[in-house]
Chains A and B, each alone.
Chain A
Amino acid sequence: MDANITFTVNGRQRTLRTDPARALLDVLREDLELTGTKYGCGEGRCGSCTVLIDGRRTYSCRTTAGEAAGRTITTIEGLASGERLHPVQEAFLAENAFQCGYCTPGMILSTVALLAENPNPTDAQIVAWLNRDLCRCCGYPNILNAVRRAARSR
């Protein structure tokens, strides 16, 4: 049963008419053409689908469009300001914290959420937070360096 759903994505208000039971991930990728957020497991266990909802880390594969109504959503596409990248994006570039890059949007948003809550995380805290983000190219060392670098740059 379709309904009108309104939310703010990357600073822009969007209204869609769709089934509220659809995953937010699917709506972002298929209806709004924001393919930066990725499908990895569909169970909220890999971090590929990470977005920020009202600034908090959220797994969009386990969030319905209906649940996102009225909220403020940030995807990877919404981090940069025009040509100016977000400091976390810059940190990932500086540390070459990617190989295939598929996990990278999720890793970056997860890091943004971490540093918003805890600007000076210890290594143990970083690992505990990012344990929910999987990389299968074994990029973890560089990713950890990127998070440390991003924390230092604040």
Chain B
Amino acid sequence: MTTETAESALDYEEPIDRVSFNFELTRRQFVQVLGAGLLIASFDAPVDGAQGRGGGGRSVAARLHIARDGTITVLTGKVEGGQGARAQITQAAAEELRVAPSRINLIMADTSLVPDDGITAGSRTTPATLPAVRQGAAAARMLLVDLAARSWSVEPSQIELRDGMAFHAPTGRRQSYADLASSDQGTQAFAAAAPTSVSVTPVSQWKVMGVSFPRPNRRDLVTGAHKYPSDIVRPGMLYGRVLRPPSYGARLVDVDLTPARAVEGVVAVRDGSFVGVAAPNTFLAQKALEAVAKTARWEPAPHPNSSQVYDYLRSRANVPGNPFAAELSAAATSLRQTYHVAYVQHAPMETRAAVAEWADGLLTVWTASQNPFGVRGELMQAFRLGADRVRVIIPVCRGSRMCPNWTSNC
């Protein structure tokens, strides 16, 4: 299994230590959170070579759950950042399950619950994740048809699903998805791997997909009700500030934390070159940070400056030969120009923030990122924790605009 995927080849050259981890679905987690019912677990077949960045090997990932009360929960590792992933995944599941989109409860980017659908980037959700969601939902549809057929002792071909109900036209009988999920045969917390041949709904029969669909949480956006990662508040939460080095890779030689600790309610920590303060509000945290910053002495790492950086990069770049050399020499006229472009930082409107909570040895982090499982891997490494002790949740957040927000904030 290759660790480089279509996503990473397209967009990300950053040197990141990929953590290969092995996450296991626990039955108990699902029953606790989603209740008993039908759980559709499927091998998410890679499409176009893209695959969830799950680390080593394929894993059985749960895609969909139908509770005994008929609640339909769909699970995805994709992130909503304003680009519409929530809407389209909801539509796709609704289409295949023959229900209105309002019936779909979509859980996104909670590493304790969802499959690793890979980083949200490169416009991959549509060509890679949507087929996986449709296959999972279509598998659920086949299972529902099968359950209904067996319960009535009829041929599956005589069963039609519509608006959350299974119908047997010849006899007029009907059952809801809730009925089917509660039935004796339906009461299984895990399905086997989904059938390998699952037929998704052809385009010509689409009723929900291909139709303009209003963004599910739009009202919350215009009322200010929506909670972005930087709006998350947890009991007993403190507001943190990190002491930033004057330049990349600088070493903290000396610092005095006592002025920070003199501010009421402030916690200050140092670990090597990392210094952080936390206080009951941001004003106090900033005061504490400024007090500490005054005492810090740094040893900078050598770097080229802004005027030297172009020659620095050029001397180290592996520039391939010009593939158009022949055309160039055959041209009537050729022009040559050099452009120096300053580094451009992605800057979504929401500032980078994270909330981290430790409880009973479990670390939960809310942050804005395109890569929940990547963040989880880095936290596992940083704090030497297993996958079951770290939970990363990406709320619907600011558009990241192709900016992989890694774990630094956490």
Give A residues with C-beta under 8 Å from B.
19, 21-23, 26, 29-31, 33-40, 46, 48, 75-77, 79-80, 85, 89, 92-93, 96, 98-105, 108, 134-137
Contacts and interface: CB of A to CB of B under 8 A. Distances in A.
A137 B224 contact: no
Contact of B222 (A26, A75, A108): A108
A53 B179 CA distance: 55
Q: Chain B interface mostly helix, strand, loop or mixed? A: loop
Interface residues of B, number: 32
Given A26-B281, A38-B349, A136-B347, A100 B222 contact: no
Contacts, number: 101
Given A30-B239, A89-B222, A137 B281 contact: no
A30 B218 contact: no
Interface of B: 81-83, 214-215, 218-219, 221-228, 230-231, 233, 239, 281-283, 347-351, 396-399, 401
B283 A137 contact: no
B397 A100 contact: yes
Q: Chain A interface mostly helix, strand, loop or mixed? A: loop
Given A85-B219, A134-B349, 18 more contacts: A29-B231, A34-B224, A38-B228, A40-B350, A75-B224, A85-B223, A89-B223, A96-B214, A98-B82, A98-B215, A98-B222, A99-B83, A100-B399, A101-B222, A102-B348, A102-B349, A104-B222, A135-B349
Contact of A35 (B231, B347, B398): B231
Contact of B223 (A19, A36, A46): A36
Nearest to A33: B233
A19 B265 CA distance: 14
Contact of B218 (A29, A36, A93, A134): A93
Contact of A37 (B224, B350, B351): B224
Contact of A100 (B81, B223, B230, B282): B81
B349 A35 contact: no
Nearest to A135: B349
Nearest to B346: A136
Given A39-B351, A102-B350, A135-B349, A23 B223 contact: no
18 contacts: A22-B281, A26-B281, A30-B282, A36-B225, A38-B349, A39-B351, A40-B351, A76-B222, A80-B223, A85-B222, A89-B223, A93-B219, A96-B214, A99-B399, A100-B396, A102-B348, A102-B349, A103-B349
A76 B224 contact: yes
Nearest to B212: A96
